[in-house]
Amino acid sequence: MLLPFPLEDRYYRYSYFLRKKFGTKVYKIGVDAGFTCPTRDGTLGTRGCLYCNNLSFSVDRRKGLKSVKEQIRESIEKLKERKKADKFLVYFQAYTNTYAPVEKLEKLYAEALSFKDVVGLCIGTRPDCVNDEILKILSDLNKDYFISVEYGVESVYDKNLDWAQRGHDFKTSVMAIEKTKRYGLDVAAHIIFGFPGETKSEILMSAEKINVLPVDSIKVHNLHVVKNTPLEYYYGSNPFKLFSEEEWIEIIADFLEKLRPDIVIQRLIGEAKNNTLVAPNWKRSKSWILNEIRNTLEKRGTFQGCKYNID
């Protein structure tokens, strides 16, 4: 099997993909453009998805939100000083970053791309919040820049999406991904494992459902409970089992073996700021867990995609 990544890596790392594509190390800059979400503005609800609190990974809007240009400028200055970085992707991260009039979107995306060292955009959104007009704008930008649309698929099972109060089904994700790819855009999928009652076989079957989609990259998160979410209160009265570090390492190694080898891996662990996390209370660092996933695959003599299309 011809792999698109070095065998010693054991899976297709995002950093390796970016270096190959741009010829240098590229850093992502997360920005908050002040968007909201249909599960918060009253369209589908007001409390957000069951597990969602953007404060667990992004800036605190209560302290005031700087302009997108200011956020990018400050991040570039810091990364150039600390990491000697010279190329950047702007990641529209918080909430739903296509959920606005197209005129506003065009202006924001253009502002982000006005920096000479910015080589593209990554746009986090929901599969029910894109349309042809938005995709056409992104497709036009894609002629000169790298444009990636990151969809919160979250699960391939409607029972999990219903439980999480996502407000869309898996079919909606499939249609959005396929349409986005027809516009020639890079597509990333965010997936969460560890919903209550979700079995190991269901998690591994997720790989097969993802494999048939035109997905370029994936972010995998373990379900975790953060403060000030509906899930915090649900978990307090209805505690359920969450993955331990050891269990997560094993299940991700199993999942990677079944995942199509050309799908780039952007993330394999969900993260939250320490002061926002309720559970699980993992003791090991992210780097240690990632290293153990790679070590597990190495000990097995396996790699991403080695069981792809094997019954």
Q: What is the pLDDT of residues 25-43, one digit of tens each?
A: 999 999 999 999 999 999 9
Residue 179 phi, psi dihedral angles, 5° rounding: -65, -45
User: 146-154 and 186-193: which strand pairing?
Assistant: parallel
> pLDDT-based confidence at 222, cuts 50/70/90?
very high
Q: Residue 62 above 80 pLDDT?
A: no
Q: Residues 175-220: pLDDT tens digits? A: 999 999 999 999 999 999 999 999 999 999 999 999 999 999 999 9
pLDDT of residue 273: 80
User: Read out DSSP for 221-269?
Assistant: EE--EETTSHHHHHHHHS------HHHHHHHHHHHHHHS-TTSEEEESS
Q: At what angle do helices 68-83 and 102-113 cross, to 10 degrees?
A: 30
If phi > 0 it is left, if psi is from -120 to 50 it is alpha, else beta; for residue 228 that is left
How far is it, in rounded angstroms, from Cα 290 to Cα 258?
Answer: 18
pLDDT score at 183: 98
Quote the CA–CA distance of 72 and 92 in Å, as a whole number.
11
Q: Quickly tell me which residue has 């516009």 as its tokens.
A: 183
Q: What is the DSSP pairing of strand 225-226 with strand 277-279?
A: antiparallel
- The pLDDT value recorded for residue 1 is 76
Instruction: Select from 155, 163, 157 the least CA-distant residue to 191.
Output: 155
Q: What would the CATH number be for the domain defined by 7-300?
A: 3.80.30.20
Q: How far is CA 232 from CA 42, 155, 158, 241, in A?
A: 21, 20, 22, 14
> Which pTM value belongs to this model?
0.95
Residue 266 carries which side chain, given as an amino acid letter? Q
Q: Which residues contact 291 (CB under 8 A, 6 or more apart)?
A: none
Dihedral pair phi/psi, residue 269, rounded to 5°:
-145, 135
φ/ψ of residue 296, rounded to 5: -60, -45
Q: pLDDT at residue 59 above 70?
A: no
For residues 193 and 209, give the distance between their C-alpha atoms in angstroms, rounded to a whole number: 14
Report the distance separating Cα 13 and Cα 267, nearest Å.
9
Per-residue model confidence as pLDDT tens digits over 250-288? 999 999 999 999 999 999 998 888 788 999 999 999 999
